Amino acid sequence: MRSEPVVQVQALVKRYGAKTAVNGLDLVAGAGVTAVLGPNGAGKTTTVETCEGYRKPDSGTVRVLGLDPVRQSAELRPRIGVMLQSGGVYSGARADEMLRHVAKLHAHPLDVDALVERLGLGGCGRTSYRRLSGGQQQRLALAMAVVGRPELVFLDEPTAGLDPQARRATWDLVRDLRADGVSVILTTHYMEEAEQLADDVAIIDGGKVIAQGSPEELCKGGAENTLRFTGRPGLDVGSLLKALPADCTAAELTPGGYRVAGKVDPQLLATVTSWCAQHGVMPDRISVERHTLEDVFLELTGKELRS
């Protein structure tokens, strides 16, 4: 799902006093779902809030749906949906009341009752916002972001602190939005979330994008994947190596335990199994170990804890 960029950020710099939150960030997000990943304090929220028109860039340019979020805010606001990291609702308002209100600010809103039902907010009844559970507050904020039928939705950590059921419900909604042609920019700490939902992932650290691509592309980069199998000990690894592409390695790590490292794709798997067939080897416990997004993330951003 690639077309005109929905978000285009060039050389964005944003400082708060002496602290530089975003430091020359470039980001292009197309249609579909883009996940912005990064450790705490990486500049995710500042970047997203600049796109939403909340912050004025110190330098650089930001275009959202082709518009300047600060100068053309009036034109942009009806076209986007915003979910803040927290709050945004009158403490005395009830969930359906607030959602109905946001719906009234739009020309062609979604059916509020259906959305309430869909996100499991029907049980909130007459409870005021401040007495809702954290998960209910999150889901209300999500509903408020989509009720105006926007072209583009910004979700700032939409599933932080949600239980697994609520997280699935949120993911399902994001998938439905994408299927219906709504673009989504979401920030998250959860690698699984990015892998599950995103067409495109941008990893931010130190106020810059340090890697961007589809989850598959990102996982292919960095360290290589590995294929393991067990067979009888003492197979001719040299002959296996000859059958493999040049950039692969093969070794018997433990007696009968073999490892092939390299670009593991269906072709390589076929090569290994046919070599086994030729040599009368039954490759037991054959497995492909994929490099996860989390591996990539930790490789890129370091494993030490941030303050």
Residues contributing to the site for another protein (CB under 8 A): 52-54, 74, 77-80, 82, 84, 86-93, 97, 101-102, 104-108, 110, 114, 118, 144, 146, 148-151, 176-177, 179-182
| Residues in a beta bridge with 152 | 80, 183
Q: What phi-psi label fits residue 249: left (phi over 0), alpha (psi between -120 and 50 degrees) or beta?
A: beta
Q: Is residue 30 within 8 Å of residue 6, measured between CB atoms?
A: yes
What one-character DSSP code corresponds to residue 149? -
- Identify which of residues 122 and 181 has a Cβ nearer to another protein in the complex: 181
User: Minimum distance from CB of 87 to another protein (Å)?
Assistant: 3
User: Minimum distance from CB of 154 to another protein (Å)?
Assistant: 9
- Identify which of residues 97 and 192 has a Cβ nearer to another protein in the complex: 97
What one-character DSSP code corresponds to residue 122? G
User: Minimum distance from CB of 112 to another protein (Å)?
Assistant: 13
Taking alpha carbons only, the member of 159, 146, 184 closest to residue 35 is: 184
- Identify which of residues 87 and 280 has a Cβ nearer to another protein in the complex: 87
User: Minimum distance from CB of 105 to another protein (Å)?
Assistant: 5
Q: Is residue 227 within 8 Å of residue 288, measured between CB atoms?
A: yes
- Identify which of residues 134 and 233 has a Cβ nearer to another protein in the complex: 134
User: Minimum distance from CB of 164 to another protein (Å)?
Assistant: 19
Ramachandran angles phi, psi of 59, nearest 5°? -155, 170
Give the number of other Cβ atoms within 10 Å of residue 225's Cβ. 18
- Identify which of residues 86 and 230 has a Cβ nearer to another protein in the complex: 86
